[in-house]
Amino acid sequence: MTPVIQQNVSLRAFNTLALPSTAEYFCSVSEHSQLLQALELARTSALVVTIIGGGSNIVLAGDIPGLVIQIDLRGVSHRYVTAAGNATGDLANAVDVTFAAGENWHQQVLFCLDQGWYGLENLSLIPGTMGAAPIQNIGAYGVELADRLISLQALDRQSGELVCFDRQSCEFGYRDSLFKHAGYDRYIIVDVTLRLSTKPEPNISYPALSAAVEAFCRREGLTSEAITPRLVSNLVCEIRRQKLPDPALLPNAGSFFKNPLLKQPQLNALLAQFEDMPNYPQPDGGAKIPAAWLIEQCGLKGAERGEVGVHDRQALVLINRGQASGAELLALAGEVRQSVEQRFAISLEIEPRIYGVN
Ligand SMILES: Cc1cc2nc3c(=O)[nH]c(=O)nc-3n(C[C@H](O)[C@H](O)[C@H](O)COP(=O)(O)OP(=O)(O)OC[C@H]3O[C@@H](n4cnc5c(N)ncnc54)[C@H](O)[C@@H]3O)c2cc1C
């Protein structure tokens, strides 16, 4: 089926910040052939292409020229991984699951739990699509996508070929991957394969999660044997609902800034000045600093600037109070960055990708 291309489409419902923006042309593709046709049409009409998934990690600062393609490819398949050299073909403790890029992340986390496939529970309730998850190597509560990714397939917009990337070639880092650098705007991810475990092995090493699990077990009179992946998923959802505003009620894009990674000399200099600065040591001797703490120290937690604001429970989250424009939101982001820069000499990096800036 040929993709339906519409003209002048409002993108407000296609971004979780609910920012007003109009796509010159828009289509949603649910089949690989539709994606190819949409790209060919853009090529022959000399239209710039913008790819979106669930719109939960983008800032639409203005209207978007050219063709916006929403990836809605669907389908999930799996293959149990047999132990190498196991002549009887007995099932090992793993399953490789391939998700088409348009599948919803959280729904698939729940689907996997239902199947008895474990490893994604700490990443419950992250909005967005499977295909976008590798772009910034999504992570939460001590687990990252990179821990589970085996490979992904992407359409190379330069050659028109499907390319397979293994974990190493994705060049994953903290909220980072090849697709934010050399692969920027070049690859359209069409499916993602994750290796999950058929053996429940809950990872509750992250302090806030282990505290929640302990409190739950104490309250319910349970022992550690009762800690299942399903329980971990439920508790992660509970913590997230307490801490983060629901975009459907208060539009936002989750963490607006990345937690800065400092090298040792800068870290030591800052710790000499700000003894209570929280810091999480990194292998290179430096540390990750919670951006939320830096913003709070600048007195900006809960700050309101007309239709935009810094959330009053989570300073990392910028919110649209209803009728904000992308320009207003970026002005607030600029104020936050400038305050943190002045006080700590740290340059905060914006996490979502910004579109529509002239
Ligand atoms: C309330 C809230 C909480 C969040 N919590 C977390 C969290 O805990 N951890 C975390 O890591 N993130 C978090 N996020 C950010 C966001 O959910 C993730 O980055 C998610 O992976 C974005 O998916 P998406 O489909 O919405 O991508 P979009 O916002 O649509 O796109 C993001 C970027 O990916 C590109 N892209 C999308 N799909 C494809 C594709 N198929 N191929 C190539 N490029 C593509 C787009 O071009 C764009 O540059 C949160 C966001 C919100 C709103």
Ligand 1 atom nearest residue 154's Cα: 42
**Residue 139 φ/ψ, nearest 5 degrees:** -155, 155
Kindly give the distance from the C-alpha atom of residue 223 to the centroid of ligand 1, in angstroms, as a whole number: 36
d(CA 238, CA 228): 15
Q: Give, as one character, the DSSP assignment of residue 263.
A: P
Q: Whose CA is nearest to atom 43 of ligand 1?
A: 188
Surface-to-core class of residue 85, CB atoms within 10 Å of its CB (0-12 exposed, 13-18 middle, 19+ buried): exposed
pLDDT digits (tens, 9 = 90+) for 182-201: 999 999 999 999 999 999 99
Amino acid symbol at 335: E
Identify the residues whose C-beta falls under 6 Å from ligand 1.
16, 51-58, 71, 101, 126-129, 131-133, 135-136, 138-140, 188-189, 244, 247, 252-254, 353
Residues taking part in catalysis: 175, 255, 351
Q: What value does the mean pLDDT take over residues 72-78?
A: 98
Domains recognised in the chain with CATH numbers: 6-71 (3.30.43.10), 76-197 (3.30.465.10), 252-355 (3.90.78.10)
Q: Give, as one character, the DSSP assignment of residue 276.
A: T
**Residue 162 φ/ψ, nearest 5 degrees:** -85, 130
31: left (phi over 0), alpha (psi -120 to 50) or beta: beta
The token pair that represents 168 in the structure block: 């190493």
Tally of CB atoms within 10 A around 54 = 23
- Cα distances from 186 to residues 50, 83, 126, 139, 157, in angstroms, run 11, 36, 25, 23, 5
Q: What value does the mean pLDDT take over residues 305-334?
A: 97
pLDDT, residue 358, reads 72
HEC profile for 168-180? Answer: HHHCCECCECHHH
Categorize the per-residue pLDDT at 226 as very low, low, confident or very high, splitting at 50, 70 and 90.
Answer: confident
Q: With contact defined as beta carbons under 8 Å apart, do 55 and 15 qualify?
A: yes
Q: Taking 90 as the threshold, does the pLDDT of residue 324 lie above it?
A: yes
pLDDT, residue 91, reads 57
Pairing of strands 252-255, 143-144: unpaired
Q: Taking 90 as the threshold, does the pLDDT of residue 66 lie above it?
A: yes
Of the listed ranges 71-85, 87-101, 123-137, 297-311, the one predicted with least confidence: 87-101
Kindly give the distance from the C-alpha atom of residue 126 to the centroid of ligand 1, in angstroms, as a whole number: 9
Q: What value does the mean pLDDT take over residues 171-184?
A: 95
Surface-to-core class of residue 62, CB atoms within 10 Å of its CB (0-12 exposed, 13-18 middle, 19+ buried): middle
pLDDT, residue 31, reads 96
Alpha-helical (H) ranges within the chain are: 32-44, 105-115, 207-220, 229-243, 264-273, 291-297, 326-344
d(CA 144, CA 225): 25
Pairing of strands 353-355, 58-60: parallel
The pTM assigned to this predicted structure is 0.96
HEC profile for 325-358? Answer: CHHHHHHHHHHHHHHHHHHHCCCCCECCEEECCC
Q: Which residue has 């400092």 as its token pair?
A: 262
Q: Taking 60 as the threshold, does the pLDDT of residue 17 lie above it?
A: yes
The token pair that represents 219 in the structure block: 């309250």
Kindly give the distance from the C-alpha atom of residue 192 to the centroid of ligand 1, in angstroms, as a whole number: 14
Q: Give, as one character, the DSSP assignment of residue 119.
A: S
The token pair that represents 27 in the structure block: 């289509």
Give the Cα-Cα-Cα angle 170, 171, 175 (nearest 5 degrees). 100
Kindly give the distance from the C-alpha atom of residue 128 to the centroid of ligand 1, in angstroms, as a whole number: 5
d(CA 78, CA 349): 37
Give the Cα-Cα-Cα angle 287, 257, 107 (nearest 5 degrees). 105
HEC profile for 60-97? Answer: ECCCEEEEEEEECCCCEEEEEEECCCCCCCCEEEEEEE
Q: Whose CA is nearest to atom 8 of ligand 1?
A: 140
pLDDT digits (tens, 9 = 90+) for 47-60: 999 999 999 999 99
Percent of the chain with pLDDT over 90: 92
The token pair that represents 209 in the structure block: 């999660």
Q: Taking 50 as the threshold, does the pLDDT of residue 85 lie above it?
A: no
User: Which of 30, 39, 52, 57 for a ligand 1 pocket mutation test, highest count of atoms within 8 Å of Cβ?
Assistant: 57
Percent of the chain with pLDDT over 70: 97
